[in-house]
A and B are shown apart, each in its own frame.
Chain A
């Protein structure tokens, strides 16, 4: 990859680095959120395009907040897809055969947990993804989602409760 500058004086390497460092996580977040392999591809790509546009306009994050910022872009992109007319008319089932090979065996606890996270309502799902999957603090989550801190707390608690119920079959 050459080191030429892309428009707006944002080094192409910056984008390359972001894609290398966070690409897989972003794509997985998109898949869990959207539950559609094709849409998740589009959304993940769009996330980096948006990130690049923001960097170009000088609206990038401080280096320490890079991860939180990129996850915010990913979640917002997924939200846009989720609300779009297109999304409401596509088959949202995850086609396991459509996942890239080699695919792991889709069984066991890991897959069960993933499925339950996927099945959560979107407002809870994004909290779980950001908090547990990306390890963001609640304060970072409020910045990423625009939620009030108290709301984020409440939703996260509710999401935990839902997940626990579903994973343990209602037992504590």
Chain B
């Protein structure tokens, strides 16, 4: 036991209270503030991850706002092919505002009114057909096709997104009869694990003569 001191001093000989330690102490004392804890690689990774999540969440929020505006348009005027030119132009502006597309020369020409209305509509339909159409057709273009194009097939969405999708349709009055309703469990929902067990006794059958 007597050699514990020597052992520790020998094994940890390289562990010294360095000049940097001294300066850190003096800085804390003279500066009157606590030295910030060193950022470990893990902490930096966590911060980066947090920022990335925040950025993603912001992006999702923005894109959801885009879809919500499209839903309002569809609720008011039906599918894309039924929209007026001004509504189609409004839709194009939405796409630009939400950074879904970049305003280039082609889109600028449509928006600035230098073409005839017929040419503007033709150019716009062609652009939308290419972006959201099916095999170049614009008749299926609507909220559904736009959502699937931007966010992928519905079956791959998260439960939260599916519930949001349902709310979006319901709140805008465009929920069809054949839509499978999806929603998040409410506060009073019973978790599956706490659900009362089903009766194990077999059902009784009565022979109807």
By a beta-carbon cutoff of 8 Å, the part of chain A in contact with chain B is: 6, 12, 15-16, 19, 23-24, 26-28, 31-32, 38, 40-42, 44-45, 48-49, 52, 86, 90, 99-104, 106, 109-114, 117, 128, 132-133, 135, 160, 163-164
Contacts and interface: CB of A to CB of B under 8 A. Distances in A.
Contact of A45 (B1, B4, B10, B28): B28
A103 B10 CA distance: 10
Interface size of B as a range: 20 to 34
> Which of A26, A32, A110 has the most chain B CB atoms closer than 10 A to its own CB?
A110
Nearest to B32: A7
Contacts of A102: 14
Given A114-B7, A132-B2, 18 more contacts: A15-B25, A19-B17, A19-B22, A23-B22, A27-B17, A44-B21, A49-B28, A86-B37, A104-B14, A109-B7, A110-B6, A110-B7, A111-B11, A113-B4, A114-B11, A114-B12, A133-B4, A135-B5
B3 interface: yes
B40 interface: yes
A42 B25 CA distance: 10
Nearest to A49: B28
A26 to B, nearest CB: 7
A132 B5 contact: yes
21 contacts: A12-B26, A19-B21, A19-B25, A23-B22, A27-B21, A38-B38, A38-B40, A45-B21, A45-B24, A45-B28, A45-B35, A49-B25, A99-B12, A99-B15, A100-B16, A101-B14, A111-B11, A114-B7, A132-B4, A132-B5, A133-B4
